[in-house]
């Protein structure tokens, strides 16, 4: 099929570092335009990535030469813009979290299904092969029956004017970082999780949560914990602890494209390190999105929508439960 013509809504620094280069360099995709409310910003991004500048998000959605959009806006704006894109007949790849509420997530999922459009959330790490390899090693019994899953994603404080310190725009560590340990827990333990406890640390100046932890469990008795925040030294890792050993992954959520991951398997009498090929997880994410759109075009609907939407709605429910029940300090 012809290349998927993608328009970008929002000129974020994350998009400039990762997603716009990935879209531009994916053969099955064509980076057609980038939109901003600021004319100069749109022109600067368009010149940098070789596409058309568009002033105003609605002007990008009205274009006939755009098949899909990538949304890179503050969290609180994701739902409004994704809904508008779907109603204009555009497929949507939205930054995580897809929305800030369960209700809004359900509405987007239902709208996409009703219109036969692809809607996806850009969790890049889910498209990196190291995690599928870890899951297969656990299934093979390399660490025995799984007992605990622990994960963490933290980094140092941000500049004072960073959007993640603004509650009205969906800021806070839970929505920005806590969703990574949650989604990783779902990846390994399934969606049928119960959150049994959580703590959130609130910043007295901005009012947003800047760090936190949760405890969850699966129906078969595996215990999971997750830590997140932006008041720490950098860390991005998880560990699966089984009856006979442990499996640890460093740089789990945002490995550089050149980085060859090393899986560390520790048992009672030996330590084994498995080095895997480097991968570009955001190129893989774009490729998976394009493939989903191709499948939807061929079938008249998105064949993967039901499974994907069940997981993304469950993530939103777990986030909401943590936010509602957490002990705040």
Which residues are known catalytic residues?
96
In this structure, are residues 175 and 97 in contact, taking their beta carbons and an 8 Å threshold? yes
Integer Cα distance of 144 and 89 in angstroms: 48
Cα–Cα distances in Å, from 83 out to 110, 163, 185?
10, 22, 28
Say how far apart CA 228 and CA 247 lie, in whole Å: 20
Q: DSSP 3-state assignment of 188?
A: helix
User: Which of these, 96, 59, 100, 97, lies nearest to 76 by C-alpha position?
Assistant: 100
Sheet strand arrangement including 146-154: 271-275, 262-267, 245-250, 235-242, 146-154, 223-229, 209-217, 194-202, 327-328
Three-state DSSP state, 99: coil
Structure-block tokens of residue 284: 């893989």
**What is the spatial distance between Cα 329 and Cα 270, in angstroms, rounded to a whole number?**
42
* Closest-CA residue to 250 (of 264, 265, 240): 264
Concatenated DSSP letters of 248-276: EEES-SS--TT---EEEEEESS-EEEEE-
Which H or E run includes 40? Answer: helix 39-49
């Amino acid at each position: 099929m012809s290349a998927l013509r993608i328009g970008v809504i929002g000129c974020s620094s994350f998009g400039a570092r990762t997603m716009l280069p990935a879209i531009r360099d994916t053969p099955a995709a064509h980076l057609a335009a980038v939109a901003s409310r600021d004319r100069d910003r749109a022109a600067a991004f368009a010149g940098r990535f070789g596409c058309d500048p568009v002033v105003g998000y609605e002007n990008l959605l009205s274009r006939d030469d755009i098949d899909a959009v990538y949304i890179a806006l503050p969290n609180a704006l994701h739902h409004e813009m994704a809904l508008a894109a779907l109603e204009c007949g555009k497929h949507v790849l939205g930054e995580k979290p897809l929305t800030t509420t369960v209700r809004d997530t359900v509405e987007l999922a239902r709208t996409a299904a009703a219109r036969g459009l692809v809607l996806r959330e850009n969790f890049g790490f889910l498209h990196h092969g190291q995690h599928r390899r870890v899951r297969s090693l656990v299934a093979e019994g390399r660490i025995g029956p799984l007992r605990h899953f622990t994960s963490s994603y933290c980094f140092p404080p941000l500049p004072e004017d960073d959007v993640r310190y603004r509650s009205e725009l969906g800021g806070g560590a839970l929505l920005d970082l806590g969703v990574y340990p949650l989604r990783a827990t779902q990846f390994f333990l399934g969606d049928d999780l119960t959150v049994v406890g959580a703590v959130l640390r609130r910043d007295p100046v901005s009012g947003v949560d800047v760090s936190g932890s949760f405890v969850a469990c699966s129906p078969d008795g595996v215990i999971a914990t997750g830590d997140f925040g932006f008041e720490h030294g950098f860390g991005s890792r998880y560990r699966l602890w089984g009856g006979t050993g442990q499996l640890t992954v460093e740089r789990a959520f945002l490995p550089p494209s050149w980085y060859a991951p090393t899986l560390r398997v520790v048992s009672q009498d030996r330590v084994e390190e498995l080095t895997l090929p480097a991968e570009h997880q955001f190129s893989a994410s774009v490729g998976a999105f394009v493939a989903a759109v191709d499948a939807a075009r061929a079938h008249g609907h998105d064949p993967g929508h039901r499974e994907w939407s069940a997981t993304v709605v469950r993530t939103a429910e777990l986030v909401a439960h943590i936010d509602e029940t957490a002990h705040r300090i």
